[in-house]
């Protein structure tokens, strides 16, 4: 099979949502339909010992939430699916934001009982920044929730995107009987009660068919006819080009937990979601059909297998063909690297791959050469763009509680921050370590992992800090003088770039006004642009 055929059969996407909307449960059902797993775990059920397949870290199983992105590859209907299950909790949003740079489309999960939530809006902002195509799955229709039309209005208003329903629920909550597929004209009904399984799937090209009254009852059939007539009258037909431009979101209804309406999403996704597309670099676009290999690292995970203390870099293939045991150019380091054991993933399970194509996400075992944002190529010199680290919102000084384990703490905090779960800053004199995070939960995760994976004991001490700003200037003397005068607020990031820790919003505004020759950056993406 040639490169074009390999590209055409791939779909690389993420599932995103506000916490507890049912994202990981939907992921499990996709894996079940793809034959990748035989039974789905219940994310928060203590009765089921087997945790959700995609939540493989011990702390995730304890808390019942996803705190890191999982990569899963599986086949469905002749299509190779690269699915990235992302953290929903806002404290781990930066991992999700970076993951969105590695996908070609997303499935956004909405809780029908709550509608659009704050994290949903933030995630959609990131999707709009990249014009990422979005399919919406409105979940938990088996619970007493909001009116479907009200939810559609809220999606358009709060997420600033046009919508087009492609399935429609028959009832809500206790009266929920199934879904009507507006795309394929299938009526799928489910059995109420404990089993809640599909009992029929029939084609209804014409809802005036009297068989509908026999299946649903006259009242429910009339309501479905009226709803579908209203949907078709209010919403334009599906515009595939508008969807792929990120301007129109197809919407599906169902219940991931009970497997209602999930297959409709997957079947339609395979047909309409875009294959791998071009990527921006500092030297112009790279097309997936280009013969030369290229890819970028968007995530690093230490101790994926705690027994082997491994360090895995997750790389998105952007062009050409990746081959095992082949030397590739590491652009930042300016040297050649090769990888003997590249892997594909089903969450924590790994399999060796000899080759990979654009759209694939593979794991590269690494000894410390790779960092988030690194570009690998077949020899050309360029860097992929749009993989920033954002200024943290919370800052804590790292305190070592066991001086006898200082080396373990040093190694552990360096490796964990290289994963991107937090940012590490160093202040001199004294080599003081300051950790910056988006949310409090990240500090708990770091403390837990340092203790259980590295045997290091620590605590975090609050410091007065409002925002971290990377500082640059076209005037080296002015930059040096600013760093000298503000030495108490100057730290270095992991790449030894100077960073100004503003103690308050007022002080940041004052320094910006008083130092016009200094540029204050709120992400570190300026480094990529300068490379």
Under CATH, which architecture does the 3-183+236-272 domain have?
Answer: 3-Layer(aba) Sandwich (3.40)
Listed as own residue / partner, the contacts of 117-123 with beta carbons closer than 8 Å and 24 or more positions apart are: 117/18, 117/21, 118/18, 118/90, 119/17, 119/18, 119/19, 119/88, 119/89, 119/90, 119/93, 120/17, 120/18, 120/21, 120/158, 120/159, 121/158, 121/159, 122/90, 122/93, 123/16, 123/17, 123/93, 123/96
- Summary mean pLDDT of the chain: 85
CB 112 within 8 A of CB 145: yes
pLDDT digits (tens, 9 = 90+) for 114-160: 999 887 887 888 788 889 999 999 999 989 989 999 999 999 999 99
Residue 529's pLDDT is what? Answer: 39
CB 84 within 8 A of CB 71: yes
Residue 303's pLDDT is what? Answer: 59
Model-level pTM greater than 0.85? no
Q: At what angle do helices 406-418 and 440-454 cross, to 10 degrees?
A: 130
With bands split at pLDDT 50, 70 and 90, how would you rate the model's confidence at 194?
very low
Average pLDDT (352-361) is 93
Q: Given 3.90.180.10, 3.40.630.30, 2.40.30.10, 3.30.70.980, which CATH number is that of 279-377?
A: 2.40.30.10
Domain ranges of the chain: 3-183+236-272, 279-377, 394-530
- Tell me the helix, strand and coil percentages in the chain, rounded to 5: 30, 30, 40
Q: At what angle do helices 118-129 and 148-159 cross, to 10 degrees?
A: 50
Residue 526's pLDDT is what? Answer: 54
Q: Among 235, 118, 145, 127, which residue's Cα sits nearest to residue 182?
A: 235
Higher pLDDT, 118 or 501: 501
Could you tell me the two tokens for 483? 């760093």
- Cα within 13 Å of Cα(175), Cβ side: 13
Instruction: Name, of 64-73, 88-97, 151-160, 337-346, the range with top average pLDDT.
Output: 151-160
Q: What is the DSSP letter of 216?
A: H
- Cα within 13 Å of Cα(409), Cβ side: 18
Q: At what angle do helices 23-33 and 262-272 cross, to 10 degrees?
A: 70
Residue by residue, DSSP assigns 439-506 as SHHHHHHHHHHHHHHH---EEEEE---SEEEEEE-S-HHHHHHHHHHTGGGEEE-TT--EEEEESSHH
pLDDT digits (tens, 9 = 90+) for 437-492: 877 878 988 898 899 889 999 999 999 999 999 999 999 999 999 999 999 999 99
Average pLDDT (285-292) is 96
Average pLDDT (396-406) is 94
Q: In b/e form, how buried is each residue of 149-170, taking b as 16+ CB within 10 angstroms?
A: eebbeebeeebebebbbbbbbb
In 305-390, DSSP assigns E strands to: 311-319, 322-323, 328-330, 335-337, 343-346, 349-352, 355-356, 361-365, 375-377
- CATH of span 394-530: 3.30.70.3280
CB 138 within 8 A of CB 167: no
Cα separation, 425 vs 431, whole angstroms:
10
pLDDT digits (tens, 9 = 90+) for 325-335: 999 999 999 99
The pairing of strands 458-462 and 394-400 is antiparallel
- Cα within 13 Å of Cα(244), Cβ side: 12
């Amino acid at each position: 099979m040639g490169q074009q055929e390999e590209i055409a059969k791939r779909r690389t996407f993420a599932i995103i949502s506000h916490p507890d909307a049912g994202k990981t449960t939907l992921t499990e059902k996709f894996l079940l339909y793809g034959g990748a797993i035989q039974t789905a775990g219940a994310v928060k059920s203590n009765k089921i010992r087997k945790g959700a397949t995609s939540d493989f870290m011990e702390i995730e199983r304890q808390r019942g939430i996803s705190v890191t992105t999982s990569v899963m590859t599986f086949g469905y209907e002749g299509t190779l699916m690269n699915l990235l299950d992302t953290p929903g909790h806002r404290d781990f949003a930066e991992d999700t934001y970076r993951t969105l740079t590695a996908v070609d489309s997303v499935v956004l999960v909405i809780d029908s009982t709550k509608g659009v939530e704050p994290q949903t809006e933030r995630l959609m902002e990131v999707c709009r920044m990249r014009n990422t195509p979005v399919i919406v799955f409105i979940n938990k229709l088996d619970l007493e929730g909001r009116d479907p039309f009200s939810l559609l209005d809220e999606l358009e208003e709060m997420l600033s995107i046009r919508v087009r329903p492609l399935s429609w629920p028959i009832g809500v909550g206790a009266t929920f009987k199934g879904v009507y597929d507006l795309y394929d004209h299938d009526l799928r009904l489910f059995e109420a009660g404990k089993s809640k399984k599909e009992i029929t799937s029939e084609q209804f090209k014409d809802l005036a068919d009297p068989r509908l009254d026999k299946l649903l009852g006259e009242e429910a059939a009339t309501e479905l006819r009226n709803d579908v007539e209203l949907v078709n009258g209010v919403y334009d037909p599906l515009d595939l080009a508008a969807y792929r431009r990120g301007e129109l979101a197809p919407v599906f209804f169902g219940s991931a937990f009970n497997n209602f309406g999930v297959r409709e999403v997957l079947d339609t996704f395979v047909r309409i979601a875009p294959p791998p597309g071009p990527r921006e670099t500092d030297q112009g676009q790279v097309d997936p059909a280009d013969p030369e290999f290229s890819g970028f690292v968007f995530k690093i995970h230490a101790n994926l297998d705690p027994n082997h203390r491994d360090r895995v870099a997750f790389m998105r293939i952007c062009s050409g063909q990746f081959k095992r045991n082949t030397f590739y150019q590491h652009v930042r380091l300016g040297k050649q690297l090769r990888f003997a054991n590249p892997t594909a993933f089903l969450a924590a399970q790994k399999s060796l791959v000899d080759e990979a194509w654009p759209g694939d996400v593979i794991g590269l075992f690494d000894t410390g050469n790779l960092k988030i944002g690194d570009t690998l190529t077949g020899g050309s010199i360029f860097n992929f763009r749009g993989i920033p680290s954002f200024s943290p919102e919370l800052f804590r000084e790292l305190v070592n509680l066991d001086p006898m384990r200082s080396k373990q703490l040093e190694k552990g905090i360096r490796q964990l921050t290289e994963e991107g779960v937090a940012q590490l800053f160093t202040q001199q004199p004294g080599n003081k370590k300051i950790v910056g995070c988006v949310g409090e939960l990240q500090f708990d995760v770091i403390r837990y992992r340092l203790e259980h994976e590295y045997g290091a004991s620590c605590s975090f001490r609050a410091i007065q800090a409002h925002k971290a700003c990377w500082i640059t200037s076209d005037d080296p003397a002015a930059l040096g003088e600013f760093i000298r005068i503000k030495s108490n607020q100057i730290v270095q990031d992991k790449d030894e770039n100077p960073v100004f820790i503003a103690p308050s919003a007022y002080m940041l505004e004052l320094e910006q006004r008083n130092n016009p020759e200094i540029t204050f950056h709120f992400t570190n993406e300026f480094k990529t642009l300068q490379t």
